[in-house]
Amino acid sequence: MMNTVDAVARLAQAAYDGDATVVARLLGGGVAVDGLNSRRRSALDLAVHQGHGEVVRLLVGAGADLEQRAGEYGESTPLCLAALHGHTAVVGVLLDAGVHPEARNRFGNAPLVLAATAGAEGRPDTVDLLLDRGADIDVMMKDRTPLDWAAGFGQVRMVHQLLVRGATPTAQALALAREHAERYPGSRQKFERVIDALRAAGATAGADRAVRRPCEREEGD
C-alpha cells in the first residue's frame, strides 16, 4: 500500500490542482485517502478549498472522512469550507454523500450563515442550494439568524434573497442595520436599503418571534 509521505503529498497536490486523473490513479494504488501532507492538510480539504467538485467526488467515493478538520488551521469542516467559498458544486457533492446541511464546524459556525455572509454579498447560489436541501433559514448562530448577520453586514442583495426565501424579518436585524448605519456613515446608504427591505417585509422594533432572545439594543421606529 502506497502510504509513504511522498505518495500522500502527491495525492494532496493533485487534489489541490484539480487533477482527477492523478487522484484516481493514486487512490487506485492504495494511497491513504485521508493522509496529511507536510502542512497537515488532506486531499479532501485542499480539493474542497479549491472548489474541485470532480476530485471531491472521487475522494468521497474512496471513503474520505466527511467530518474531518479542514482549513489552514483545521478550524473548519469540508461543508463549512465549501459554503464559505461559495463552491456550490462541492457543497452538492458533500450533501449527496450524506453530510447534514446544518452540520457545524468546531466553532459552531453554521454553513448557511457562512454562505450568506461571505464576501461582499454572500454566496447566493450556495445559499439557495443549502435551503433547497433542508437547511433552516432561521438557524441561530451566536444568537443571530442568517438574516440578522446579513443585515448587520449591510448585504443588501442577500437580505432581499433571504426575505424572498422566507426568512423571518426580525427586530434584531432591523436594530443591527440601524446601529451600523449610524456607526459607519460611509456605508449609511446600503444600511438604509437594508432597513427599507426589512420594514417592507414587516420588521418592527420589538416584534421579534417569541423564540428569539431579546435584542441587546432596540430602537423605536
pLDDT the model gives residue 52: 98
> How far, in Å, CA of 45 to CA of 202, rounded?
42
> How far, in Å, CA of 38 to CA of 213, rounded?
45
DSSP-assigned states of every residue in 49-114: HHT-HHHHHHHHHTT--TT--BSTTS-B-HHHHHHHHT-HHHHHHHHHTT--TT---TT---HHHH
pLDDT the model gives residue 213: 34
Question: What is the maximal distance between C-alpha atoms in the chain?
Answer: 68
> How far, in Å, CA of 211 to CA of 162, rounded?
19
Q: Which domains does the chain have, with CATH numbers?
A: 1-112 (1.25.40.20), 137-221 (no CATH)
pLDDT of the chain along its 221 residues, tens only?
456 889 999 999 999 999 999 999 999 999 999 999 999 999 999 999 999 999 999 999 999 999 999 999 999 999 999 999 999 999 999 999 999 999 999 999 999 999 999 999 999 999 999 999 999 999 999 999 999 999 999 999 999 999 999 999 999 999 999 999 999 999 999 999 999 999 999 998 764 443 333 333 333 33
Q: φ and ψ at 70, to 5 degrees?
A: -140, 170
pLDDT the model gives residue 15: 98
Amino acid in the structure at residue 14: A
61, three cell numbers: 467515493
CB atoms within 10 A of CB 148: 30
Report whether 123 contacts 88 (CB < 8 A).
yes
DSSP annotation of 17 reads: H
**What pTM was estimated for this model as a whole?**
0.89
Buried (b) or exposed (e) across 173-210, using 16+ Cβ within 10 A? Answer: bbbbbbbbbeeeeeeeebbebbbebbeebebebeebee
> How far, in Å, CA of 93 to CA of 87, rounded?
10
Tell whether the torsion through CA atoms of 38, 23, 18 and 42 is positive or negative.
negative
DSSP-assigned states of every residue in 110-162: -HHHHHHHSTTT--HHHHHHHHHTT--TT--BTTB-HHHHHHHTT-HHHHHHH
